[in-house]
Amino acid sequence: QQQVKQSPQSLIVQKGGISIINCAYENTAFDYFPWYQQFPGKGPALLIAIRPDVSEKKEGRFTISFNKSAKQFSLHIMDSQPGDSATYFCAASNTGKLIFGQGTTLQVKP
Amino acid sequence: DSGVTQTPKHLITATGQRVTLRCSPRSGDLSVYWYQQSLDQGLQFLIQYYNGEERAKGNILERFSAQQFPDLHSELNLSSLELGDSALYFCASSKRAGAVYNEQFFGPGTRLTVL
């Protein structure tokens, strides 16, 4: 019930393309869904987050789509750039502690 | 730079030893969280402190303990170290204790290697 499942494990996208990462959760008590970006040797950095009463949130090239009935949410990176190459983690929380997905390694080819 | 600092950056020690990892939260943040990141387990929540008091516990081993001091910095103590404890340990901080858009900001981590 506490798991967050993330897919794909890895993703290769051409520069300018759209990167899509998906997550699914079981616990309907979760009420906060952030995405983190992590570069090698660095800590995870908060990218964008959403609450379940909102179906979509956009910040620049990054968009979260949220489907409460399906218990799924996804990250879309528009106009993907080589600088976006990193590992992305979805997470969910309802008590403060974050439950993370397994991560997606994104490579954007120039 | 998230504003969360962690020391040391790297730590190499032997099995059976004890180490202390230190974290200073962002200015104004009262809550500190500890996470462990390993290849096989991913990012896992260990423990949370809020304003000096333990708030939540995750999959933290009994050999591990933590505390938050009056100046709000936190320390994670790992004892009787085993090879499997080798991992990245991250500290995160946030303004509040609960969820409800409680943004957590992560430090750069401490890489622990147990030989």
pLDDT at site B100 = 62
Smallest CA-to-CA distance from A33 within B69, B104, B44 is with: B104
pLDDT at site B53 = 94
pLDDT tens digits, A17-65: 999 999 999 998 898 999 999 999 899 999 999 998 899 999 999 999 9
Residues of chain B numbered 43-82 and touching chain A (CB < 8 Å):
43-45, 48, 55-56, 58
**Percentage of chain B modeled with pLDDT above 70:** 96
CB-based contact, B38 to chain A, within 8 Å: no
B35 interaction partners in chain A (CB closer than 8 Å):
98
In this predicted structure, the answer to whether residue A1 has a pLDDT above a threshold of 60 is no
CB–CB of B103/A34 below 8 Å? yes
Give the CA distances from residue A105 to residues A18, A50, B102, in Å, rounded to whole numbers and listed in that order.
15, 21, 26
Q: How far apart (Å, rounded) are the C-alpha atoms in residues A107 and A33? A: 23
Q: How far apart (Å, rounded) are the C-alpha atoms in residues B73 and B95? A: 14
Model confidence at A2, in pLDDT bands (50, 70, 90)? low
Residue of B nearest to A98 (CA): B45
Average pLDDT of chain B to the nearest whole number? 93
b/e B21-45 (16+ beta carbons within 10 angstroms → b) = bbbbbbeebbbbbbbbbeeeebbbb
Give the CA distances from residue A94 to residues A31, A91, A98, B41, in Å, rounded to whole numbers and listed in that order.
5, 11, 8, 21
Phi, psi for residue A69 in degrees, rounded to 5: -65, -35
CB-CB under 8 Å, B33 with A97? yes
A44 interaction partners in chain B (CB closer than 8 Å):
43, 90, 106
Q: How far apart (Å, rounded) are the C-alpha atoms in residues B54 and B76? A: 12
| Closest approach of B16 to chain A, Cα-based (Å) | 26
pLDDT tens digits, B40-64: 888 999 999 999 999 999 989 999 9
- DSSP strand pairing (A4-7 vs A56-59): unpaired
Question: Could you tell me which residues are beta bridge partners of residue B14?
Answer: none
Residue of A nearest to B2 (CA): A45
